[in-house]
Chain A
């Protein structure tokens, strides 16, 4: 990475922090001056304090563990299925041309509307929620992986053939490593989508998890619980995304593409 490039990135990070400070500070001010009343929203510092108290208190640990565990499971399923499907579609062009328009319109489908049907299919346990989370995330993974696979220089595939790699070896040792930066882009989206999927499903009808707790707090005007939970979800997804972005940056720098 060049120094100039690093400078630009550092400046972008500074701006991001500045923007955040202004937004949170403004919100704080609006809340403290009573422009936003306490029943609508707590001031940001209060949310933070409540979140720490909530985590320290431990009464929501089961809900948090359930949601994050299910989201992690949905994420892993989406990654494995998404990458595999992308590789298969990359081999079978005609199948891909059939499915392409579906991918383009996929996110217009109101996935949560199928929740009752999924309960009929999978029962009342966590399975329908995980299914929704994985379904929401999987197409982002497929589309981004395919995008990466399309950009593999032909000469690398010829090199694989000259080295007598099998189809499996070519996929795992040439195609996927080559497409990794694109797969990571898909992974970043998949983190958000699987969290949304799980929490949204819990929100609609479930008896546990962070989504359920948020919905319960919402109907009871329990702001001391609702906002800290939302903040926690935000913190978790930002943390994971930052890690993935770091990794992506290392890979891109290695390829001289920072």
Chain B
């Protein structure tokens, strides 16, 4: 398999440019500081961004720059202070739209439910045939490598496995937009690469749009069609990189020359922002 990451090479995502699924226009988010009166925290923005139907979009940025805040705006879990967020042409105003699945940064498995029941929870509100329901659960279990643990409880699993339970719970609803907030944070590097392959697989199979937040530059470089680079807080998009990978890529592209080039470019954009976020603005040349 040969691939070359040049921006000239048309990927599937760029071919489908016409279909915009999510759009953010001049979006800002401020948080009111409780306790101390007045002065709000400007967490994010202004941000302008369009996610195309079916693309794999990754976001990287320094810690605390507002990545999770951005995800919650798109999910409809919080409302923008200024600007507008729209999903499939309809503005989201703090109402959760249908067809959106979210996997959070923290462990969100329900400790009182077995793995199987956790996954079935995603289907609670859906009126589907019981046989179809079982089929979806079984296939999500298999895809996330949890079949042998279906009857276990989350406390009996590792952190990474619990995160996979949450991914499976989202998958069964067959969302058109999947929002992933650092889902592999608890995984070791090897498992992370393999889980990356699984996410690519499900992205190809479902045709869903994937919006992935990560702090691992190589993960973004390996998985995404486009990578948005965010500045230190208040987070703005300072660069958007097209990787140009073909749709049937997998973790082996980490060996490609172009992969190194993309990671290097990401780090160039991010280095000074990351320094700012830990309170050490760039000195010297």
> In the complex, A251→B155 CA distance in Å?
11
Does A174 have its Cβ within 8 Å of any Cβ on chain B? yes
> In the complex, A257→B156 CA distance in Å?
11
Q: Are B112 and A254 in contact (CB under 8 A)?
A: yes
Chain A residues closer than 8 Å to B121, beta-carbon distance? 163
B153, closest chain A residue (CB): A254
Does B264 have its Cβ within 8 Å of any Cβ on chain A? no
Q: Are A161 and B77 in contact (CB under 8 A)?
A: yes
Q: Are B75 and A255 in contact (CB under 8 A)?
A: no
Type the 1/0 row for A165-194, where 1 means its CB is closer than 8 Å to any CB of B.
100000001100110100000000000000
Q: Are A177 and B108 in contact (CB under 8 A)?
A: no
Q: How large is the interface on B (under 10, 10 to 19, 20 to 34, 35 or more residues)?
A: 20 to 34
Q: Are A178 and B108 in contact (CB under 8 A)?
A: no
> In the complex, A163→B122 CA distance in Å?
7
A182 CB to nearest B CB, Å: 12
Interface of B is mostly: loop
A162, closest chain B residue (CB): B102
Q: Are B156 and A180 in contact (CB under 8 A)?
A: no
Does B110 have its Cβ within 8 Å of any Cβ on chain A? yes
A251, closest chain B residue (CB): B112
Q: Are B108 and A159 in contact (CB under 8 A)?
A: yes
Does A256 have its Cβ within 8 Å of any Cβ on chain B? yes
Type the 1/0 row for A224-258, where 1 means its CB is closer than 8 Å to any CB of B.
00000000000000000000000000010011110
> In the complex, A53→B104 CA distance in Å?
63
Does B3 have its Cβ within 8 Å of any Cβ on chain A? no
Known: A158-B77, A254-B155. A164 touches B125 (CB 8 A): yes
Q: Are A255 and B155 in contact (CB under 8 A)?
A: yes
Q: How many A-B residue pairs have CB under 8 A?
A: 58
Chain A residues closer than 8 Å to B100, beta-carbon distance? 162
A174, closest chain B residue (CB): B110
A164 CB to nearest B CB, Å: 6
Does A39 have its Cβ within 8 Å of any Cβ on chain B? no
> In the complex, A62→B108 CA distance in Å?
51
Known: A162-B96, A163-B121. A254 touches B77 (CB 8 A): no
Known: A163-B122, A163-B124, A254-B153. A158 touches B104 (CB 8 A): yes
> In the complex, A235→B125 CA distance in Å?
45
Type the 1/0 row for B98-140, where 1 means its CB is closer than 8 Å to any CB of A.
1011101011101111000000011011000000000000000
Chain B residues closer than 8 Å to A254, beta-carbon distance? 111-112, 153, 155
> In the complex, A165→B110 CA distance in Å?
15
Q: Are B112 and A177 in contact (CB under 8 A)?
A: yes
> In the complex, A257→B111 CA distance in Å?
11
Does A153 have its Cβ within 8 Å of any Cβ on chain B? yes
Type the 1/0 row for A42-54, where 1 means its CB is closer than 8 Å to any CB of B.
0000000000000
Chain A residues closer than 8 Å to B111, beta-carbon distance? 178, 254-256
Chain B residues closer than 8 Å to A19, beta-carbon distance? none
Q: Are A161 and B112 in contact (CB under 8 A)?
A: no
A258, closest chain B residue (CB): B155
A154, closest chain B residue (CB): B106
Does A155 have its Cβ within 8 Å of any Cβ on chain B? yes
> In the complex, A162→B77 CA distance in Å?
8
Chain A residues closer than 8 Å to B98, beta-carbon distance? 164
Q: Indicate which residue in A155, A163, A178, A255 contacts B125 across the interface (CB closer than 8 Å).
A: A163
Q: Are B112 and A255 in contact (CB under 8 A)?
A: yes
Chain B residues closer than 8 Å to A155, beta-carbon distance? 104, 106-108
- 15 A/B residue pairs, CB under 8 Å, sorted by A: A153-B108, A156-B108, A158-B72, A162-B101, A163-B121, A163-B124, A163-B125, A164-B96, A174-B110, A177-B110, A251-B112, A254-B111, A256-B153, A256-B155, A256-B156
| Interface residues of B, Cβ cutoff 8 Å to A | 72, 75, 77, 96, 98, 100-102, 104, 106-108, 110-113, 121-122, 124-125, 153, 155-156
